[in-house]
Structure 1
Amino acid sequence: MKTLSSSRPASYFYFHLIILVLVFGGFGLNALVHPDKLPPTSGIVYLHGLIMFLWYILIVIQSNLIRSGNISLHKTLGKSSLLLALGIVVSGIWMSVVHYSRPDGFVFSTINTFILINFIILFYLAWTNRFRAEYHKRYMTFVSLSAVFPALGRIILGLNLNQYLSVPLWVVLVLVMGVHDFQAQKKIHPATKIGTGLILLGIAFTLILMENAAWKAFLDQLMG
């Protein structure tokens, strides 16, 4: 069995660091440039944002521990990811319910639905494969990638670009994993195929359902 520190751990650390910068930069840039377009301030907004930031900070710390060979502390801190993952899911659902009455509530909830579905699936795969390093680190990376879209959207909004550019930007970040695998191993790892497929399917379903009247009627009734 390969150890947790196998196969170019530094590249994962730097990739997670880039994602963390995008998350902080995206929300920070949007707050500075478009403060009028921020969601109404409330306890759930602050709570969800805090949990999300803690998640991305934890992933950077965890990947750095692997890079430095501190496997014991990595395993200990890894248990906290269960609480953060639960917090992300619960607060994410709560966000959809609370903000559904906003003009963009339907779009927000549709995007959020598939983000949360993929987040749950990928975290489950990461957790159940935590003793298989090559699978675990890839699935954990895809967990972070599955939830990064809101930050990318705010980067595009902050730069006053077409909002749909956030989708290809998301796709590029997801495809980086496959490129990394091919460069390192001359083949794409099964976990990368699954993670990439799930996120791309989520994007496709989201785009389709945002134009689907039956889905809107279902959400209208569900959100009451």
Structure 2
Amino acid sequence: MKKNFYTRNYFFGLSIAIFIMSLIAFSDNMITDVHQESNSNPFMIIHGLIMFSWTIVLIIQTNHIRKLNIAQHKKFGIIGFVIAIFMLLSINYLAYMGPDFVDLPFFGKANRLFVPAFALVLLFAYLKRQNSVLHQYFIFTGMLLCLEPILSRFCGNLGLNPVHLAFPIWLGLWLSLFLYDIISRRKLHPILYLGFIFFLGVYVVVS
């Protein structure tokens, strides 16, 4: 596997980018509009803390890999897996308490379909944790599937139109992952292109 600055730091950089976008996306909850209704819901606060914990786990774990601290990565991986379970439980609880599937806008329907796929690839990531390529690709393919809430709010809180800009940013993140694989392995892994096909297919179905 070819290593250069891009490939050595890619997953760490992607994790930081997701974390920064998350901070901006939910800055209204934390700073500019702290009295909004969702902030009075204890479960929404817990859900937000779990999601931020997950993005922090990604930063810590990808930094361990970047610095070749494999032992620390494995030790902290147990904590990450537990947080991932709580994250999926909280997402599914929100879906259970939310509107019926037929009443959701198209992106809401897509998110409902992406969540079980996210759960499945995280399970595969855990089962394939001894294979670094599969482990990373399963985790980050799942992450890219579920970025719509972050990207839409990220654009909105920057005064940008999510309808016009969220998808191009999303597409750019997918392309950056493809570029990483092509540079490092000289080919495109099936997990990545099948994940992208599934991503596009879901939006075609629900649109």
TM-score using structure 2 length: 0.82
1:181 corresponds to which residue? 181
* Aligned match of 2:26: 27
Residue 167 (str. 1) matches residue 172 (str. 2): no
Matches within 5 A, 1:1-224: 8-28=7-27, 39=38, 41-100=40-99, 106-107=104-105, 109-165=108-164, 166-205=166-205, 207-208=206-207
In 2 relative to 1, CA 144–116 (structure 1 residues): closer, same or farther, beyond 3 Å?
A: same
Deviations 1:133-173 (A, max 9, x none): 11111212222222222111101211333332323322221
- CA deviation vs aligned residue, 1:61-86 (integer Å, no higher than 9, x gap): 00101111111111111122322222
How far the C-alpha of 1:174 sits from its partner, in A, is 1.9
Residues 188-213 of structure 1 show CA distances to partners (whole Å, capped at 9, x for unaligned) of: 122222332333333333x42xxxxx
Tell me the amino acid that sits aligned with residue 80 of structure 1.
I
1:109: how far off?
4.8
Distance 1:171 1:204, change over 3 A: farther
2:111–2:148 CA contact under 8 A, matched in 1: no
Q: How many residues align?
A: 199
Unpaired segments of 5 or more residues in structure 1? 209-224
Q: Say if 2:156 and 2:162, in contact at 8 Å, map to a contact too.
A: yes
Q: Which runs of 4+ in 1 moved over 6 A?
A: 34-38
Answer whether contact 2:7 2:180 (CA < 8 A) is retained: no
| Percent of aligned pairs with the same amino acid | 24
* Secondary structure at the counterpart of residue 188 of structure 1: coil
**Partners of 1:9 and 1:67 within 8 A in 2:** yes
TM-score, normalised to structure 1's length?
Answer: 0.76
Supply the AA of the counterpart residue of 2:104. Answer: F
Which residue does the alignment assign to 1:219? none
* Residues 119-128 or 161-170, more deviating: 161-170
Letter of the 2:116 partner, please give it. Answer: I
Aligned partners of 1:126 and 1:137 also within 8 Å? yes
Matches of 2:134 and 2:15, distance apart in 1: 16
Is the contact between residue 16 and residue 141 of structure 1 (CA under 8 Å) also seen in structure 2? no
Structure 1 residue matching 2:130: 3-state secondary structure: coil
Take 1:121 and 1:42, find their aligned partners in 2: how far apart are those partners?
A: 29
**Any unmatched runs of 5+ in structure 2?**
none
Q: Conserved in 1, the CA contact under 8 Å of 2:181 and 2:189?
A: yes
CA contact (8 A) 2:50 2:87 kept: yes
Taking the aligned partners of 1:140 and 1:55, their CA distance within structure 2 comes to: 11
Cα deviation code 1:101-123 (max 9, x no counterpart):
9xxx7237524312312211221
Aligned equivalents of 1:197, 1:80: Cα separation in 2? 31
